[in-house]
Amino acid sequence: MYEEKVKPFRLVKYFTFTSLILIFLGVFVLSALNTHWARAMQLEKSEEYALLIVENLNHQIFLQFVIPIAWKYGKIQLRKKEQFEHMDKIVRRTLHSFNVDTVNIYDMNNIISYSFDQKMIGKKNMGGSGYRNAVTGRSVSDVVHVEEGGFFKKVGFFLGVPQKSKIATFAPLRVEKQPLRISGPVLGVVEIVQDLSEDYKVIFRFQIRVIIACTLVMGILFLVLRFVVNRGEGIIEKRNQERIRLKEQLNRAERLSSLGEMVAGISHEIRNPLGIIRSSAELLKKKMLKSDPSNTIPDIIVEEATRLNSIITDFLDFARPRDPNLIPCRINDILEKNVTFLSSQMKARNYTIEKHYDGNHAEIMADPDMIYQAFLNILINAMQAMPDGGKIRIETVSNGNTLSIFFKDEGRGISEEVIGKIWDPFFTTKETGTGLGLGIVKNIIESHGGKIRIDNGHVSGAQVTAELPVYDSQLSVVATDN
């Protein structure tokens, strides 16, 4: 039954933790996709930025280089030092405040006529498809990864790990037919290269911040859910233990009810003949004193009848416990009465009593006779646990609404197999006895609203702990915290 109740809760727990893991993985996937989208937007922005630079550069080159050089020399020849220096001055002055890594200018034969890198000047067929598109009048851009790598580097780049990357934009260099309108024939091709590495690093750092923030949030959620789950399991376990305890009490009550009915019928049939046997034996003893004084048979009959009557009394006390007649009383006085009654037996068999009574002199609402009987059974059991004598410690402790009474002996303790059955009716480890003594004690304590338990001592022996509610000054029982 407990497993049936716990399984749905465990399903909720596993579903919750699985959902957290899936959400956490989703965060990584979304982070990678966001990085991809951010890079796409950055690429589009960089392309637009490059086209604006090309337009401005085209305007400056046409007005400050093409027209003056054509007018002065009649022909443009960048191989000549004077023309090249003039072109370099115009280009660098135009682009000095822009984020441009490299500029290459191609002629109509796909030869680099001008470049920031002197080694590139004069090289042929370096433009590729970008050059061919630009010659037809279309501007194109392409991302170039300077650090090429294998599969893992490509996966890392997709996840946002920054690499050395550049964007190369090819655009036609045209004639300006009208002021501020670059719409004439193509004179050549301009290639502008921008370094995107820093931009990608910024995106990557933002991605790391997002992942760290999500990790912290998920970690906090995990701890909160873990706490809630542990509390829930604790509550379920506590309720299950309470349910088991109540079920045991119900089963025990049902067994006691059946036992009570049986004992009530049998004890009535046994006690009447038993009383007749005992009284007849006593009468027989008186008559035999004159003729045969040494005959002990009548004494044996009386003794065994008395013992049998005691057994029947135990059955009745256990199966049909009477309701306590509650009156205010002091537990110390009842304990002293027990000790006084057993003092002669204890002295003869080498037992000692060590008493530590609480100084508060707390009172309880109890039936003194029933409590006396319960404590007497406990003390007798303690003596039987030490057949060669020993010390019995009695201690009372008042703690707010509860008065605890401890009985400690120096015997061999109780084995693990036995301690779980100690309260079962008719269970006993002794050669004689009904096995109802502790059951009667338990009934008496619980009928007074208290609790009782038996534990093994830390070093040796066993300890019986009885807890009873304290009686307040207004003649009302203060309920113990169950």
Reference 172, options 224, 252, 123, 105; nearest CA is 105
pLDDT (mean) for 203-228: 79
**Res 91 pLDDT > 80:** yes
**Res 265 pLDDT > 70:** no
**Residue 94: its H or E element:** helix 81-95
pLDDT (mean) for 232-257: 79
Pairing of strands 402-408, 451-456: unpaired
Contact 178, 113 (CB under 8 A): no
Reference 423, options 405, 446, 398; nearest CA is 446
In the chain, what are the domain boundaries? 2-195, 324-469
Residue 29: the pLDDT is 77
Percentage of the residues of the chain whose pLDDT score is greater than 70:
79
**Res 22 pLDDT > 90:** no
pLDDT (mean) for 36-62: 82
Is the domain covering 2-195 a CATH 3.30.450.20 domain?
Answer: yes
In the structure encoding, which two tokens stand for residue 394, read together? Answer: 């009695």
Chain centroid, CA 206 distance in Å: 32
Q: Give the tens place of pLDDT for each residue, 430-466.
A: 655 556 677 778 888 888 889 988 888 777 788 899 9
Q: Give the tens place of pLDDT for each residue, 154-193.
A: 545 444 455 677 888 898 888 876 554 556 688 888 888 8
**Res 113 pLDDT > 60:** yes
Reference 204, options 42, 45, 21; nearest CA is 42
Burial 240-275 (b: 16+ CB within 10 A, else e): eeeeeeeeeeeebeeebeebbeebeeebeebeeebe
Highest mean pLDDT among 6-20, 27-41, 297-311, 371-385 belongs to: 371-385
Q: Which residues are CB-neighbours of 271 under 8 A, at least 6 positions away?
A: 309, 312
**Res 392 pLDDT > 70:** yes
20 band by pLDDT with thresholds 50, 70 and 90: confident
Poorest-pLDDT segment among 113-117, 149-153, 285-289, 453-457: 149-153
**Residue 194: its H or E element:** strand 181-195
Q: Give the tens place of pLDDT for each residue, 308-334.
A: 777 777 666 666 667 788 888 888 899
**What is the overall mean pLDDT for the chain?**
78
Contact 330, 363 (CB under 8 A): yes
**Res 375 pLDDT > 50:** yes
Reference 211, options 33, 40, 43, 41; nearest CA is 33
54 band by pLDDT with thresholds 50, 70 and 90: confident
Residue 408: the pLDDT is 92
Burial 287-297 (b: 16+ CB within 10 A, else e): eeeeeeeeeee
Residue 479: the pLDDT is 40
Higher pLDDT, 131 or 225: 131
Q: What are phi and psi of 446, to 5 degrees?
A: -70, -30
Q: What are phi and psi of 52, to 5 degrees?
A: -65, -40
Q: At what angle do helices 437-447 and 297-319 cross, to 10 degrees?
A: 40
Residue 161: the pLDDT is 54
Higher pLDDT, 10 or 75: 75
Residue 232: the pLDDT is 77
Helices (DSSP H) in 96-142: which residue ranges? Answer: 128-135
Q: Which residues are CB-neighbours of 27 under 8 A, at least 6 positions away?
A: 210, 211, 214, 218
Reference 338, options 377, 387, 384; nearest CA is 377
**Res 125 pLDDT > 80:** yes
Residues 401, 349: Cα–Cα separation, whole Å: 38
pLDDT (mean) for 221-230: 78
Is the domain covering 324-469 a CATH 3.30.565.10 domain?
Answer: yes
pLDDT (mean) for 276-287: 77
CA angle 470, 471, 477 (to 5 degrees): 95
Contact 338, 381 (CB under 8 A): no
